[in-house]
Amino acid sequence: MQIHSLFGSGKAVVSFEIFPPKPNYSLDTIFATLDGLKELKPDFISVTYGAGGSSTERSIEIADKVKNEYHIETLAHLTCVGSTRGDIEKVLNRFSNHNIENVLALRGDPPQGQAGFAASNPGYKYAGDLVAHIKERTDFCVAAAAYPEGHLECPDLNVHFSHLKAKVDQGVDFLITQLFFDNNIFFTFLDKARAQGIYCPVVVGIMPVLNAAQIKRMTSLCGASVPDGLQRILEKYANSAADMEKAGIEYACRQINNLLENHADGIHLYTMNKAEQARIIMHQTGLR
Ligand SMILES: NC(=O)C1=CN([C@@H]2O[C@H](COP(=O)(O)OP(=O)(O)OC[C@H]3O[C@@H](n4cnc5c(N)ncnc54)[C@H](O)[C@@H]3O)[C@@H](O)[C@H]2O)C=CC1
Ligand SMILES: Nc1nc(=O)c2c([nH]1)NC[C@@H]1CN(c3ccc(C(=O)N[C@@H](CCC(=O)O)C(=O)O)cc3)CN21
């Protein structure tokens, strides 16, 4: 099923994100996660591709299992940086052969320890180039990323908006946001996006703070700002992992409840492969 057909019912679309386990871990760990997530009946699950240096083969294998063994609608991430058009066509063919109908078209992060990309990057420069290529050649439903706080590489928010508008016009069916911890930033972003003619559904990406180290890594990777309320939690529970997790889950639930009150099109939970915490959040927000 094409995910864009799920929007517009008046109910928020609910989705989860998982990433492949590191190469030295068995794939069984992700199947244990999926067993738990399946019970929550998500509308779809997305599988990251190359995030944090993970193997792309594992991403394809997991996306296949989600769709064909768990029978959950799948959104396969695809990054294009460093690939040729031929490489991308091969991966798209493999997705098609596994009946995967939805792709999240991304540019990709620079390699770890590197701030930018080599000028000689072949093939694709921006995610929009990948969106256009997929739409030209296939019938995939195409999602893309949106950055409510702007993007680290593009400090001028107005310029960044024009890039987003151009990307959407290249054929994006729906957007998923980068994580953020202050809903007001999202509401301002959404108003501005609509005013600039970006009309597609916008799913909100939420990352629960489950431990301080992970949030440090994510905020430095994606530039999300940490509001005072969250900073206080990080300081107060610095020496108590269990209390930190509990407070992080409560924070995420408050964010989600407020987004639902404001009619968000969808909630996409960055699960960090933790099914039990996802279950608590789904129950506490009444989403499941
Ligand atoms: N591996 C994964 O599963 C995931 C990765 N990400 C990462 O988030 C980051 C951004 O990715 P995307 O949104 O796909 O990239 P993008 O290509 O849409 O944007 C990246 C940067 O390029 C600028 N830009 C975009 N189009 C432009 C144009 N036509 N001319 C000039 N500048 C332009 C944007 O303002 C932004 O600063 C990447 O680093 C991506 O890998 C995000 C979610 C999941
Ligand atoms: N810039 C950017 N790159 C991404 O890959 C990305 C985003 N933003 N935003 C949304 C999601 C969040 N994603 C994430 C976030 C964290 C990890 C992470 O912490 N990975 C650990 C592996 C942990 C483990 O295997 O247990 C790592 O060390 O890389 C992975 C994907 C992927 N996405």
Whether pTM exceeds 0.95: yes
Residue 119 pLDDT grade (very low, low, confident, very high; cuts 50, 70, 90):
low
The average confidence (pLDDT) of the chain is 95
> What six digits make up the tokens of 246?
């509990």
Q: Which atom of ligand 2 is nearest to the CA of 21?
A: 25
Q: Is 165 in the pocket of ligand 1 (CB under 6 A)?
A: no
| Residue with CA closest to ligand 1 atom 24 | 163
What is the domain class of 3-208+262-284 according to CATH? Answer: alpha beta
What's the gap in Å between 197 CA and the centre of ligand 2?
30
Q: Is 142 in the pocket of ligand 1 (CB under 6 A)?
A: no
116 Cβ partners below 8 Å, 6+ apart?
110, 153
Tens digits of per-residue pLDDT, 157-201? 999 999 999 999 999 999 999 999 999 999 999 999 999 999 999
% the chain with pLDDT above 90: 87
Measured from CB, residues less than 6 Å from any atom of ligand 2 are 19, 21-22, 48, 51-52, 109, 178-179, 205, 214, 217-218, 221-222, 270
Using CA atoms, how far apart are residues 211 and 28, in angstroms rounded to an integer? 23
Q: Which residues pair with 76 in a beta bridge?
A: 47, 103
Q: Concatenate the DSSP letters of all residues of 73-84 into one string.
A: -EEEEEE-TT--
Q: Is 163 in the pocket of ligand 1 (CB under 6 A)?
A: yes
Residue 17 annotated in active site: yes
| Residue with CA closest to ligand 2 atom 9 | 178
What's the gap in Å between 51 CA and the centre of ligand 1?
13
Measured in degrees and rounded to the nearest 5, phi and psi for residue 141 equal -80, 130
- Predicted complex ipTM: 0.94
Q: Which residues pair with 203 in a beta bridge?
A: 176, 266
